[in-house]
């Protein structure tokens, strides 16, 4: 009985350790897709139309959309342990602008300071993707 419990616990640990590998690889692949289209770092951007979507790209990066074609790559300070696994975020900005002085809040109330903001040329990225798929 005791041996069975030990094997079950070891199996659970191994399965848990392996489950993070595909997520990390997919995050790195997704980040590599965006990086050629990122511009120079900026200090702030407008959220006047509102945040229409977001996607985490690992423990310290996420993409935020403020419209159909307006996307920004945000880098947050480490450690931000819950970013890769959160279902919701909020940004601490009290104005219609997000700056490098703001925080991304994730599950459990963790505050992750924004250290860098880079605009993404999302229109060009989509056009290149359409052209690549047309070949």
pLDDT of residue 135: 76
| pTM of the predicted protein model | 0.79
Structural domain boundaries, residue 85: 24-134
Residue 118 belongs to a domain: yes
Residue 37 belongs to a domain: yes
CA distances to 4, 45, 62, 98 from 117, rounded to whole Å, are: 51, 8, 10, 9
Residue 18 belongs to a domain: no
CB 117 within 8 Å of CB 103 = no
Residue 6 belongs to a domain: no
Q: Is the pLDDT of residue 11 over 50?
A: no
First and final C-alpha spacing in the chain: 60
Question: 39-96, pLDDT tens digit by residue?
Answer: 999 999 999 888 999 999 988 999 999 998 999 999 999 989 889 889 999 999 888 9
């Amino acid at each position: 009985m005791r041996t069975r419990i030990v094997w079950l616990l070891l199996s659970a640990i191994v399965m848990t350790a392996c489950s993070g590998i595909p997520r990390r690889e997919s995050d790195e692949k997704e980040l590599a897709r965006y990086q050629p289209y990122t511009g120079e770092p900026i200090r702030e951007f407008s959220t006047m139309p509102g945040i229409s979507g977001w996607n985490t790209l690992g423990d310290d990066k996420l993409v935020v959309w403020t419209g159909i074609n307006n996307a920004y790559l945000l880098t947050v300070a480490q450690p931000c342990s819950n970013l890769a696994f959160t279902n919701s975020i909020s940004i601490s900005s009290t104005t219609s602008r997000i700056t490098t002085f703001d925080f991304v809040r994730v599950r459990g109330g963790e505050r992750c300071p924004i250290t860098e903001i880079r605009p993404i040329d999302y229109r060009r990225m989509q056009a290149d993707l359409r052209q690549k798929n047309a070949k």
